[in-house]
Amino acid sequence: MNQHVALSPNVKRALEEGKPVIALESTIISHGMPYPQNVETALNCERIARENGAEPATIAVLGGKLCAGLTEEQIQYLGKKGQGIRKASRRDLPVLIARQSDGATTVAATMIVAALAGIPVFATGGVGGVHRGAEKTMDISADLEELAQTPVAVVCAGAKSILDLGLTMEYLETKGVPVIGYQTDELPAFYTRESGFKVNDRADSPQEAAAIIHAQRTLGFPGGVLITNPIPREHALPREIIDSVIVAALKEAQASGVAGKDVTPFLLARVAEKTSGLSLKANIQLVYNNVRLAAQIAREMES
């Protein structure tokens, strides 16, 4: 075990006994939702993981330690501090460790800690990708590079609707990352079930998804697998409404000079505002759906 990783007693025991464990990120707690919905959602995610046979390992950097598995008090701390907690990707981990500081892990950083801890499956909401206008800004999420080099399977509701989904798929193809649709041939787009872009292939059961992940591992490939799980139909938002809201929010961001890592939280906040909170409800439900599937896949991988 890496010297910087600290496992909770429950996670440590589960890994030692060969029981299913799934990773959960912490930026969704500190940066993805307002308090107290963020804490409620995080605790419900842990409950859903256990109900589906897997031990949850919510990951964060606390006091310079890469923590896999948090207490309820630690989750409350992240939720109440909110955006006062540093958003941590790969580049931030050495700094946070050296300064013994706190950080909420992004998809990329959560994958790193999960791999160091020996956790093969990770559930999140949506992954980052190639931003609209990236041909000028070069704004490409570190999540994509991490998927190309870190052996953790990520279960998500596709890439966030605010991204350029076509370029995101092209980037993943170039990096050799399998994008597998769960019971779908089309890439889901976070709030909506359709994007107009095809995935590489599909898996129609947790057993099939687990088999694909296992095959990639036994081949010795370096990266991960992206399992895209559409938001439940009853919670999905109409694609045309989301697209129009995002276009308006992007124009507002550009006019306000919002750039870099501030773009995503700005856009998500505007989408929530312009959909009268419906996007937040959809976000919560799609995360629960992904945790459920990730736990079922992890269970199949350990069976």
Selecting among 12, 46, 87, 160, the annotated active-site residue is 160
Q: How many residues does the chain have?
A: 303
Residues of the chain with CATH 3.40.1790.10: 1-119, 121-303
Tell me the one-letter amino acid at 240: E
Q: What separation in angstroms does the CA of 71 have from each of 74, 81, 237, 243?
A: 5, 16, 33, 38
pLDDT at 137: 80
Q: pTM value?
A: 0.93
The answer to whether 121 and 213 are in contact (CB under 8 A) is: yes
| Alpha helices in the chain, H assignment, sequence order | 9-16, 27-30, 37-51, 72-81, 93-99, 107-117, 134-137, 142-149, 165-174, 206-219, 239-256, 263-274, 278-302
pLDDT at 249: 83
Query: What CATH code is assigned to 121-303?
Result: 3.40.1790.10
Determine phi and psi for 284, rounding to 5 degrees: -60, -45
Tell me the one-letter amino acid at 258: V
pLDDT at 40: 98
Query: Which residues, given as ranges, of the chain have pLDDT below 70?
Result: 261
pLDDT at 121: 98
What distance lies between CA 258 and its chain's CA centroid?
Answer: 23
Q: What separation in angstroms does the CA of 68 have from each of 1, 26, 123, 126, 249?
A: 12, 11, 14, 20, 35
pLDDT at 261: 67
The answer to whether 78 and 58 are in contact (CB under 8 A) is: no
pLDDT at 284: 95
37-51 and 72-81 are packed helices; what angle lies between their axes, rounded to 10 degrees? Answer: 150
Domain topology for 1-119? Indigoidine synthase fold (3.40.1790)
Selecting among 12, 25, 146, 274, the annotated active-site residue is 25
- Whether 16 is a known active-site residue: answer no
Q: Give the Cα separation of 62 and 78 in Å (integer).
A: 10
Q: What separation in angstroms does the CA of 112 have from each of 147, 175, 299?
A: 10, 17, 21
